[in-house]
A and B are shown apart, each in its own frame.
Chain A
Amino acid sequence: MSIGAFVYKWWPPALVITALVIGWQAAVDLSGVEKWHVPSPIDVAQESMKSYPQVLAHTWITVKVMLTGTAIGIAIGIAGALLLHISPFLNRAFYPLMILSQNIPIIVLSMLLIFWFGFGLTPKIVIIVLVCFFPVLVATMNGLAQADRAMRSYMLMTGASRLQLLLKLELPYSLPYLFAGVKIAATYSVMGAVIAEWVGGSQGIGKYMMMSYASFRMDRVFVSVIVIIVLSLLMVGLSRLLEWRFTRWKTHSLHAGTEGGSRP
């Protein structure tokens, strides 16, 4: 993206955010509300300068749990999609269960898992896996079923086996869909991690937020919120990077139009 295009894309949201922050600062200053009650942006900035070593330590723990859980969740989502795609019976048997699993409130699930697995990493990773696998599974299944009909009959006429059809056509064809799911999973995973840490963590940014809240340190709560937003953005950025790496042919085709050969 050129600098001009970058500026064009981002100046409206930047303007809105700047206006909001200024408005917030002005409202706190003019109303004379207490700092412990509603901290101003400047208070939050000062607090983050002061406590960042502590915040970074908590954040790092959350990041590790989040990346592990997301990776496992994505892997299970893809594997599950392949299984349900190949076997109509498994599809019929398990799909309703998958949807059901998404309707259990995550807070309840967190409490149960912590009751069973204790306060270690396991329950948190399980929570993140549970929130991450579903969007990947649904998107990938959708992609696998979309494979182009002409390419499909070419493969079948040419005598491709079921496995060849899956690996050489359906799976590559589903990648753009799969990554749409991964992007959703990436944002969910931050939420999942924070909720799991609220319910039963001894460390992590979610725990830090809860401790700050319990001790009426609203400035620290806001610092945690900023960290969580940054984490979400980083996760989305990471999944976009992966998407670009694996579906480059797709973006190429979109931009190339009808020009002739690119090579001399």
Chain B
Amino acid sequence: MKNTQNTGEVNETPSSSDNIKLQFEDIVKSFREDGNDTRVLDGIDLHVREGEFVSILGPSGSGKSTLFLLLGGLYRPDHGRIMLDGRDIAGKRGLVSYMPQDSAMFPWRTVEQNAALPLQLDGVPARTALSMARSALQKAGLEGYERSLPHQLSGGMQQRAAFVRALLGRRDVMCLDEPFAALDALTRQEMQHWLLNQWEQERRTVLFVTHSIEEALYLSDRLYVLSAKPTQVLQEIAVPFPRPRDRRLLLEPQFAALRGQLYELLLSAKEEEGARHD
């Protein structure tokens, strides 16, 4: 496959002047399975600049979530460094805010109590935390649902609430782990658009994991394509579309070309994995 100029492939390496917020440097991680070490991450290098929306696109089972668990400090890398603001944060918890795949709303807490949780964990008094949560929920279009229990909300609205909870974590970097994977196609599109709007207002640094090519292209400034296990970065791509974006973008020929190229790339990664299993 040949890359033409307008597909926007990036060859530069990050330099310190790029105001890099977060950087994974040659991350290696193995897990013991049935007495064997299985290498999940095999030298991952990637970075996210301040205020940038970066997606990680990979086939299922490519260790994308492992990357987040490392970033969240739940695991330590076997090799390599995870740098946040120039500091190695491997094994340190609570430095990034996190939105998990399934909303992980606490069923006994009302929506506003759920959204206020990260503030309370930081020691903000409950009353202040709740009023901050209420105004953030209203901004996110959840007015009238502050006192509902999570199960009373639709899947899409639960994810909105989970996003607000992640926003209120007040960390510089937000990690979104396939947040829309469990939604139906229509709700998913609606949520992508909603997220884009929210993000364009806040401009937080975002690391977004997905296996949807369209989602990654539509939302991100830059994306990394991962291989199957043992996972490496196959390609880094700067998404060339200007912001603010809207759904018309999906109909543009350049978008279609880029989508086709990424599709081929992911397919070859998957076939390679299939061949290894045979």
A interface residues with partner B (beta carbon < 8 Å):
148, 150-151, 153-160, 164, 168-169, 172, 175, 247, 249-250, 252-253, 256, 259-264
Contact = CB atoms under 8 A, between A and B. Distances in A.
A158 B114 CA distance: 13
At the interface, is chain B mostly helix, strand, loop or mixed? loop
A206 B153 CA distance: 53
Given A158-B121, A249-B149, A260-B154, 11 more contacts: A153-B69, A153-B72, A153-B100, A160-B94, A160-B121, A175-B108, A249-B107, A253-B149, A261-B154, A261-B157, A263-B144
Given A153-B72, A154-B104, A250-B107, A159 B94 contact: yes
B29 to A, nearest CB: 16
A246 to B, nearest CB: 9
A262 B175 CA distance: 30
B45 interface: no
A157 B145 contact: no
Contacts of B74: 153, 156-157
Nearest to B120: A168
B147 A263 contact: yes
B96 interface: yes
A162 to B, nearest CB: 11
A144 to B, nearest CB: 15
A178 to B, nearest CB: 13
Contacts of B118: 158
B100 A154 contact: yes
B93 A156 contact: yes
Interface of B: 68-69, 72-74, 93-98, 100-102, 104, 106-108, 117-118, 120-122, 144-145, 147-149, 151-154, 157, 169, 175
Contacts of A148: 104
Contacts of B145: 261, 263
At the interface, is chain A mostly helix, strand, loop or mixed? helix
7 contacts: A150-B101, A157-B96, A159-B95, A168-B117, A250-B108, A261-B144, A261-B148
A263 B72 contact: no
Contact of A151 (B72, B104, B169, B175): B104
Which one of A148, A168, A249, A256 has the highest number of Cβ atoms from chain B below 10 Å of its Cβ? A249
A248 B102 CA distance: 23
B101 A253 contact: no
Nearest to B150: A253
A155 to B, nearest CB: 8
A157 B72 contact: yes
A263 B121 CA distance: 28
Given A157-B94, A252-B151, A150 B157 contact: no
B98 A154 contact: yes
B144 A264 contact: yes
Q: Which 7 A-B pairs have the closest CB atoms?
A: A159-B94, A157-B72, A157-B98, A150-B104, A249-B108, A154-B104, A253-B151
Contact of A261 (B73, B121, B152, B175): B152
